[in-house]
C-alpha cells in the first residue's frame, strides 16, 4: 500500500538508483500494534514534516515501514566490514531498511532509515528485530550527541511494534526511524572493492562526493575529506568522554556522522582504558584507543580506494600513506583546540600541551568524574576553591594565571549527559511501560549546557554502588 508522506516532501531513491548492485529492494515486516514512544519534533520540523501528522495513524505506519510513500523504493544496503579486526565480506542491513532520501527545504538529501524492521537477505542468523530498550538508548544518546554539537545520525522516532522479541528474555519489539546525511560506511567501499568491479567503486565514490563532500578534488580529495571529518569527529568524542564501543569499519561513516549506538557509553570517571561493551574483551575499542582505531579504519578505506588513486599501484599506495598521515596532526589539532576551549583558554599553538597532559593524568589517577569536573573548574575560574585532588594545586595555579574565561567554559562543558545509571533507569522503566523517566532524561540532555533547577540528579555523578557498568551488544 502507498500513502502520501505526511507533508509535501519528496522521498527520493537516489542510492537505489545509482548503486543498484548494493541495494536489495525489500519490505518491512508487519508491526502488529504500532505505538509511538518517542518523536523528535524539532527534527521533524527541520525536515519539513508535520509532527502532528507523524503522530497520527498514517504517520506511525510510515515510521515502522508499514506504509511506503508513493514512489519510494525501500532497500537493504549491502556493505562489508572488519568486525573487531576480522573481515566479513557480507554484512549489510540485516534488520534495517533505507526508505529513501528526504529533501529538506534547502534541497539537501537526508536518508530516512528504519532499524528493527525485520529480516532481510543480509540477516544471517539474526531475527531482524530490535527491542524497545536499545532503540530508546540510540534515541536519547544520539539526541544528546546532537545537542552537544557532535555530528551524528539522528533519531526521528521510536515506535513499539507490539511484537514480542526473544532475547535472553521476551522483550517488547521496536523500530527506530533514523535520519542521516548518509549511511555510506567504510564497509560500503570495502564491499564495492571486493566485487572486483572498479566501475562500481568509482560510482560509489562519485555518489559519496556528490552527497557528502561536494567540491573535493578527485578521489584523493574524497579520501582527504573523510580523514578530516573523522579526525574532527573522534576528537569531539574524546572531548565529551564518549565511548562508541563498536568501531567496526561498517560502523564508520563517510559523512563523518557518529553511527550505530550499540554498546556505547559516556565516561563517568576519566579513564583512557574504559571499556563498556560486554563483548570487547581485549579492549580494542577502549576510550583511549578510539583515535588509533579511526586511523586503522581509514587505512581500510584507503585500501578500498587504491585503484582510484593512481593507475600504478605503488604510486597509489604512496599517495594513500601520505594522505593517511594527515589524520594524526588533524586529530591532535582538533583535540587541542577543544581542550583549550574546555579550559576557557585561547586555542591554537599557544596552548601548552603539557598543561592538558598533566590535568588528564590527575583526573585519571584521582578517578575524577570527567563531565562534572569541567563545570567545577569554571567555578574555580570565578574564584571558588580548587577541588580536593592530589596533584591539582600547582596545576590550578598555572592554569588560573592564564586568565581562563569561565563563561566561555560553561558554553562548551555540558552539565547534562546521558549518564549510564540514568540511561539504565530510564530504559528499564520504559521497557516496563513507564516513559516518564525517559522523557525527563531526554529533556535534560537536549539542552546540555544550560543548568536548570530541578534537574540536579541529572548532573550528579553515578552513585558509588553503580559499580562497573557494562552494556550489551544484544540489541
Ligand atoms: P551492528 O553491530 O549493530 O552494527 O550490526 C552488525 C551487523 O549485524 C549488521 O549487518 C546488522 O544488520 C546485523 N544485525 C545485528 N542485529 C541483527 C538482528 N537482530 N537481525 C539481523 N541482523 C542483525
Ligand atoms: Mg552497524
Q: How many CA atoms lie within 13 A of 102 on its CB side?
A: 24
Q: Residue 7 pLDDT more than 80? A: no
Smallest CA-to-CA distance from 31 within 236, 177, 168, 141 is with: 177
Parallel, antiparallel, or unpaired for β 68-69 and 2-3?
Answer: parallel
| Mean pLDDT over the full length of the chain | 95
Does the C-beta of 387 come closer than 6 Å to ligand 1?
no
Q: Is 346 exposed, middle or buried (0-12, 13-18, 19+ CB in 10 A)?
A: middle
Residue 25 C-alpha cell reads as 529492494
Percent of the chain, pLDDT > 70? 96
Can you give the length of the chain in residues? 475
CA of residue 198 to ligand 2 center, whole Å: 25
Contacts of 417 (CB under 8 A, 6+ apart): 144, 148, 240, 241, 266, 371, 445, 448
Does the C-beta of 81 come closer than 6 Å to ligand 1?
no
Residue 84 C-alpha cell reads as 573487531
pLDDT of residue 353: 84
For 320-363, give the DSSP string: HHHHHTTHHHHHHHHHHHHHHHHTT---GGGS-HHHHHHHHHHH
- What does the alpha-carbon distance between residue 275 and residue 420 come to, in Å, rounded to a whole number? 13
Whose C-alpha lies nearest to ligand 1, atom 7? Answer: 91
Which three-class secondary structure state does DSSP give residue 150? Answer: coil
pLDDT of residue 110: 97
- What does the alpha-carbon distance between residue 180 and residue 178 come to, in Å, rounded to a whole number? 7
Residue 467 C-alpha cell reads as 559499580
Does the C-beta of 280 come closer than 6 Å to ligand 1?
no
Pocket test for ligand 1, best of 88, 95, 472 (most atoms within 8 A of CB): 95
Per-residue model confidence as pLDDT tens digits over 128-150: 999 999 999 999 999 999 999 99
pLDDT of residue 107: 86
Q: Can you give the pTM of this predicted structure?
A: 0.96
Does the C-beta of 262 come closer than 6 Å to ligand 1?
yes
Catalytic residue among 40, 111, 250, 268: 250
Higher local confidence (pLDDT), 179 or 5: 179
CA of residue 131 to ligand 2 center, whole Å: 15
Which three-class secondary structure state does DSSP give residue 243? Answer: strand
pLDDT of residue 232: 98
- What does the alpha-carbon distance between residue 61 and residue 159 come to, in Å, rounded to a whole number? 9
Per-residue model confidence as pLDDT tens digits over 314-357: 999 999 999 999 999 999 999 999 999 999 999 766 688 899 99
> Which residue do the cell numbers 578505506 mark?
301
pLDDT of residue 472: 56
- What does the alpha-carbon distance between residue 144 and residue 426 come to, in Å, rounded to a whole number? 14
Per-residue model confidence as pLDDT tens digits over 44-93: 999 999 999 999 999 999 999 999 998 899 999 999 999 999 999 999 99
Smallest CA-to-CA distance from 142 within 271, 262, 5 is with: 262
Q: Residue 8 pLDDT more than 60? A: no
Active site residue 410: no
CA of residue 167 to ligand 1 center, whole Å: 14
Smallest CA-to-CA distance from 437 within 451, 424, 453 is with: 424
Residue 186 C-alpha cell reads as 567504510
Q: Residue 4 pLDDT more than 90? A: no
pLDDT band, residue 1 (cuts 50/70/90): very low
- What does the alpha-carbon distance between residue 330 and residue 349 come to, in Å, rounded to a whole number? 13
> Which residue do the cell numbers 586555542 mark?
347
Does the C-beta of 94 come closer than 6 Å to ligand 1?
yes
Q: Residue 179 pLDDT more than 70? A: yes
Amino acid at each position: 500500500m502507498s500513502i502520501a508522506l505526511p507533508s509535501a516532501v519528496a522521498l527520493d531513491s537516489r542510492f537505489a538508483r545509482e548503486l543498484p548492485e548494493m541495494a536489495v529492494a525489500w519490505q518491512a515486516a508487519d508491526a502488529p500494534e504500532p505505538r509511538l514512544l518517542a518523536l523528535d519534533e524539532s527534527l521533524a520540523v527541520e525536515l519539513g514534516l508535520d509532527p502532528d501528522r507523524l503522530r497520527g495513524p498514517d504517520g506511525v505506519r510510515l515510521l515502522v515501514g508499514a506504509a511506503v510513500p508513493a514512489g519510494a523504493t525501500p532497500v537493504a544496503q549491502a556493505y562489508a566490514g572488519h568486525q573487531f579486526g576480522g573481515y566479513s565480506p557480507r554484512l549489510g542491513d540485516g534488520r534495517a531498511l533505507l526508505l529513501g532520501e528526504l529533501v529538506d527545504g534547502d534541497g539537501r538529501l537526508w536518508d530516512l532509515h528504519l532499524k528493527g524492521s525485520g529480516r532481510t537477505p543480509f540477516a544471517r542468523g539474526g531475527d531482524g528485530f530490535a527491542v524497545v530498550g536499545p532503540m530508546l538508548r540510540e534515541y536519547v544518546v544520539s539526541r544528546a550527541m546532537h545537542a552537544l554539537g557532535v555530528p551524528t545520525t539522528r533519531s526521528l522516532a521510536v515506535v513499539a511494534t507490539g511484537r514480542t522479541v526473544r532475547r535472553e528474555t521476551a522483550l517488547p519489539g521496536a523500530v527506530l526511524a533514523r535520519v542521516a546525511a548518509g549511511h555510506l560506511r567504510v564497509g560500503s567501499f570495502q564491499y564495492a572493492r571486493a566485487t572486483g568491479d572498479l566501475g562500481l567503486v568509482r560510482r560509489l565514490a562519485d555518489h559519496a562526493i556528490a552527497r557528502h563532500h561536494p567540491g573535493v578534488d578527485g578521489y584523493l580529495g574524497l579520501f582527504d575529506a573523510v580523514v578530516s571529518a573523522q579526525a574532527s569527529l573522534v576528537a569531539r568524542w574524546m572531548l565529551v568522554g564518549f565511548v562508541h564501543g563498536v568501531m567496526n569499519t561498517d560502523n564508520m561513516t563517510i559523512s563523518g556522522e557518529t553511527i550505530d549506538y550499540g554498546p556505547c557509553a559516556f565516561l563517568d570517571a576519566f579513564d583512557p582504558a574504559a571499556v563498556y561493551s560486554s563483548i570487547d574483551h581485549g579492549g580494542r575499542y577502549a576510550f583511549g584507543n578510539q583515535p588509533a582505531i579511526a586511523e586503522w579504519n581509514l587505512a581500510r578505506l584507503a585500501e578500498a580506494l587504491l585503484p582510484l588513486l593512481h593507475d600504478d599501484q605503488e604510486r597509489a599506495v604512496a599517495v594513500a600513506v601520505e594522505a593517511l598521515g594527515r589524520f594524526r596532526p588533524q586529530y591532535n589539532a582538533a583535540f587541542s583546540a577543544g581542550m583549550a576551549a574546555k579550559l576557557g583558554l585561547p586555542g591554537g599553538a599557544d596552548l601548552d600541551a603539557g598543561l592538558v597532559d598533566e590535568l588528564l593524568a590527575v583526573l585519571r589517577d584521582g578517578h575524577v568524574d570527567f563531565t562534572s569536573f569541567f563545570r567545577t573548574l569554571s567555578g574555580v575560574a570565578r574564584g571558588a576553591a580548587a577541588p580536593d585532588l592530589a596533584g591539582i594545586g600547582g596545576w590550578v595555579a598555572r592554569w588560573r594565571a592564564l586568565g581562563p574565561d569561565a563563561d566561555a567554559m560553561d558554553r562548551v562543558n555540558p552539565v547534562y549527559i546521558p549518564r549510564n545509571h540514568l540511561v539504565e533507569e530510564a530504559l528499564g522503566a520504559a521497557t516496563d511501560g513507564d516513559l516518564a523517566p525517559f522523557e525527563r532524561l531526554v529533556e535534560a540532555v537536549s539542552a546540555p549546557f544550560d543548568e536548570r533547577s530541578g534537574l540536579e540528579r541529572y548532573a550528579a555523578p553515578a552513585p558509588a554502588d553503580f559499580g562497573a557498568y557494562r552494556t550489551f551488544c544484544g540489541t
